[in-house]
Structure 1
């Protein structure tokens, strides 16, 4: 499975995608022959045959179950998808159904792209909290699955070096983690820890902001959503990012190397901070020696990122089409489809019953630990329209710190960028 957080721009495709997609999207509505109302659906899943196969099954089943609506799917490359949506929104040619990366939803809702989802609360209440997108008290999006992070290790390596194997109920403390990594470096690993720092984009916020939250800081003051001051540059944040910088200075982790899990597979690193999308390959290569460990407790309890791709209904979708879009979405959240997504894409199902039926994440599944980690430790990113700036500012500060910048100065600069964006947009409705 590809990394669900990869959002690399594909500018060369944008013009074609936006123009052809918008033209087709404008055809939503009753068919010329008085047949079913046509509902266009956009996904970011082009190039992912496993995911597309599940969508095809759902659409075929829904279209075959009734004759009032016809859902028609169009697929976009993930890298150009957000830009295509923005262009279509400007031209008022969005489709009725569209998927979105969870943390982007508040920006799209604020910009007027989306309408409240309107699904029964009995359905949305049954989903993992991180798969439901809420903004200003209203549900705008919901997803079939989530991803989760873990630390991969080899049981034999930890036992050989006398390192305690952490559990969900008793994870490593920061002091234990430091001692373990130091011992592994002394044992012969040139860089014992892969933090995934060669990755870019949304990975940085998804991966490292939970560590910051575990230490007592955050990307934004979530009580008001008005400022990053004190959360991103307070004492807890400075302390955490000092640790983060030292991890690279001490040679515990590298800032380069292959993106993914190959260094762990090749036993070049002993510990790999990575996601469920790399778990199947690790299982195949490492076998029963693989450990899927909980995140480190940096002082305020373990945390991992949550919130992946979700579905919404565009604001410009007509009344009849909106009713059809809701009917389709309610139909699509059947457990059998959620389990199909989980087992074809190696992602965590959004409901407990679909999880129980999964070959990977059920009670006896080899990746069950990821479902447990998601349920216990996952946190959504800040639900603010300013999140794109929050994320990019966080990434810049963290990378600068990794490369040796003064910690407090880098964090202060990030706070300034975030707060300036909030102010220039009149507080995004928070009363600033």
Structure 2
């Protein structure tokens, strides 16, 4: 899951980043490509280390040298290396930040480097995520899934219809009735887990899709120049007001221990693919995975996860692409997907996956990505500010602030940032005038 990134003013950021730049990459040996990866869960690190070892053993050159960087400091480290012109050759990054990195001229387009066969096998959501202004800048070995987890017996006992798939999602009136029916059978009436114990990017990833389902959005997608009229339009306000009502009625568990669903405190959990293993272990065959509710324009869900790109520092982009295409081989895609439980990033790997193939328990998530029911987070260099503003708005709404007020505030913050950056022209002023 993506991490939080806050974009302060450059005047405040530079001293901090120059300090961090002392942690920059080691000097590369001739024939060596430097690779930066976020230090996620141990199983992922182990797989990536093994993949680097397998790639290096498969040829004489180039040799990949991998550096794992703590996830919480990852984006700051990238910005520090960018300022000091010390980025690695190959960079991993949270998908929505690709546009900001391109704007800063940190990444090169790869559409002329990637083979046609590999590109055609990628999920359309990954191509969409990695494309900016008509050029492909990043690829990914996995994508993400978002939905509702439930116990089938509890739904049946409460007389609640179980949706058959993405196009059969509960309407909001249905979902409200389901929450009320489940609450009647629950001693504390807390029946819905929204993962309120999570931090940062979860709130944008997890809840901005309801804006799009309702007819709103985080920003005006046609030109990317304004959040006003989209983030705070009547549809967005109505959708977020619905979330506030669920909280105010006492339906939402605070989940301070991340065990609301596994311990049986709630009947429904609004979460991603990453919880499946724990939930399946706790619930067994009674576990059912459902689409998010339909707020009026069809169920929508998030997409995107960690991506790979080639930096402007790379002196051998063709060799770097050979490594990325190695990672996109079906067995390598399945290796990382097995480690983190994510949706495999290629159609071939999905067909071979025990979890995500048409007969798998998580096929719903793959079907969402393949059918275009997922929505990428805004494809603009302004994204770091957009996500920070929405996260703050969600916190305000959760704590009782009038919804229109909270969304107006967020929209103003985003619009001012876009204005301050002259609408984010094609190249960052800092990149243009280093």
TM-score between both structures, scaled by the size of structure 2: 0.90
Are residues 18 and 119 of structure 1, via their aligned partners in 2, closer, same or farther at CA, if it must alter by over 3 Å? farther
Aligned to 2:10: none
- Residues 304-356 of structure 1: per-residue CA shift (max 9 Å, x gap): 110100000111222xx222111211222101100111112111101111012
Aligned to 2:28: 28
Q: Distance in 2 between matches of 1:353 and 1:247?
A: 40
Q: Distance in 2 between matches of 1:275 and 1:17?
A: 36
Aligned to 1:326: 321
Deviates more, 1:182-191 or 1:232-241: 182-191
Are residues 175 and 287 of structure 1, via their aligned partners in 2, closer, same or farther at CA, if it must alter by over 3 Å? same
Q: Distance in 2 between matches of 1:359 and 1:403?
A: 41
- The match for 2:115 among 105, 111, 120 is 120
Report whether the alignment pairs 1:291 with 2:288: yes
- Residues 378-423 of structure 1: per-residue CA shift (max 9 Å, x gap): 2210110000110011111122112111221211111110000001
Report whether the alignment pairs 1:41 with 2:40: no
Aligned to 1:237: 236
- In structure 2, the gaps of 5 or more residues are 7-15, 428-434
1:22, distance to aligned residue in structure 2 (A): 1.4
Q: Distance in 1 between matches of 2:108 and 2:265?
A: 49
Aligned to 1:33: none
CA-based RMSD: 2.2
**3-state DSSP of counterpart to 2:256:** coil
Alignment map for 1:195-210 (pairs within 5 Å):
195-210=194-209
Report whether the alignment pairs 1:408 with 2:404: yes
1:8, distance to aligned residue in structure 2 (A): 8.5
Report whether the alignment pairs 1:69 with 2:62: yes
Deviates more, 1:158-167 or 1:185-194: 185-194
Alignment map for 1:113-192 (pairs within 5 Å):
113-117=106-110, 118-132=113-127, 133-168=130-165, 169-189=167-187, 190-192=189-191
Aligned to 1:308: 305
Are residues 229 and 95 of structure 1, via their aligned partners in 2, closer, same or farther at CA, if it must alter by over 3 Å? same
Contact 1:18 1:85 in 2 (8 A): no
Contact 2:125 2:374 in 1 (8 A): yes
Q: Distance in 1 between matches of 2:69 and 2:261?
A: 32
1:361, distance to aligned residue in structure 2 (A): 2.0
Contact 1:390 1:418 in 2 (8 A): yes
